[in-house]
């Protein structure tokens, strides 16, 4: 079967390489996001992105979304009833590609009046150092998928988000009773210990995905702000 890979867009404008590729195998089309030469996500296996959104159900409300990616988490949040999404994305080019409609999901998000996409660093925002005028919260829910998780970082600066201090600071941006969901490439014992020490009702859910004959155990963590 004929296979072809096309680079739809590529940029290193923000100091790191990001590329959007499309793989064509027969009639199957798969979009891929590559960061610094490392596979980040694709459109073929979106179960963990969907599970991240579902972790904020049944009423996500007004959601701060850290990381646009290929848009599947944000798109599903709208499907399950989010009233508005404030998406903060570190990559300016990725935002431009969404506005240019390079993939169907990104195009749909960019055109949705319930969605605001801002160029910035959500880790800095959650640390209490706002760099985005007018974007202060609090939010009903927070959804974080900005890296590979506490143990598999692409951007070392994101480590601060996964510390106990970073978790507490992020929770402070929630309304009382609000929930934060965090995606990780795999389970992290240390991170899980920190979460449960902050919130005894924190949860860890594993999402099993088969990818290229490999089993991936992704983890979705949730933590709450007390009422």
For residue 215, count other CB atoms closer than 10 A to its CB: 8
- Lowest-confidence region among 36-45, 104-113, 179-188: 36-45
pLDDT over threshold 90, residue 200: yes
Edge-to-edge strands of the sheet including 139-144? 115-119, 84-89, 62-66, 139-144, 174-184, 214-224, 203-211
Residue 159: the pLDDT is 87
Please tell me the pTM assigned to this model: 0.94
The class (CATH top level) of 44-224 is: alpha beta
pLDDT over threshold 80, residue 122: yes
pLDDT over threshold 80, residue 212: no
Model confidence at 110, pLDDT cuts 50, 70, 90, reads very high
Q: What is the pLDDT of residues 149-173, one digit of tens each?
A: 888 787 778 889 999 999 999 999 9
Distance CA 143, CA 167 (A): 12
Averaged pLDDT for residues 10-17: 89
For residue 75, count other CB atoms closer than 10 A to its CB: 21
Q: What is the pLDDT of residues 40-61, one digit of tens each?
A: 889 988 999 999 999 999 999 9
pLDDT over threshold 90, residue 25: no
Distance CA 80, CA 50 (A): 10
- Percent of residues, the chain, with pLDDT higher than 90: 74
What is the rounded average pLDDT for all residues in the chain? 92
């Amino acid at each position: 079967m004929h296979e072809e890979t096309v680079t739809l867009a590529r940029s290193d404008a923000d100091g790191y390489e990001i590329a959007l590729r499309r793989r064509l195998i027969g009639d199957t089309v798969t979009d891929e996001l590559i960061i610094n030469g490392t596979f980040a996500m694709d459109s073929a296996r979106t179960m963990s992105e969907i599970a991240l959104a579902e972790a904020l159900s049944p009423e996500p409300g007004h959601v701060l979304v850290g990381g646009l990616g290929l848009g599947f988490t944000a798109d599903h949040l709208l499907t399950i009833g989010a009233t508005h999404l404030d998406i903060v994305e570190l990559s300016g080019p990725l935002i431009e590609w969404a506005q240019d409609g390079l993939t169907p999901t990104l195009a749909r998000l960019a055109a949705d009046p319930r969605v605001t996409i801002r160029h910035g660093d959500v880790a800095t925002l959650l640390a209490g150092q706002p760099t985005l005028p007018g974007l202060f919260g609090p939010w009903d829910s927070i959804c974080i998928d900005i890296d590979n998780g506490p143990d598999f970082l692409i951007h070392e600066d994101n480590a601060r988000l996964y510390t106990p201090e970073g978790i507490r600071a992020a929770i402070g941006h929630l309304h009382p009773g609000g929930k934060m969901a965090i995606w990780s490439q795999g389970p992290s014992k240390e991170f899980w210990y920190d979460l449960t020490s902050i919130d005894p009702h924190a949860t860890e859910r594993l999402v099993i995905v088969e990818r290229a004959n490999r089993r991936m155990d992704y983890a979705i963590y949730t933590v709450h702000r007390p009422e």
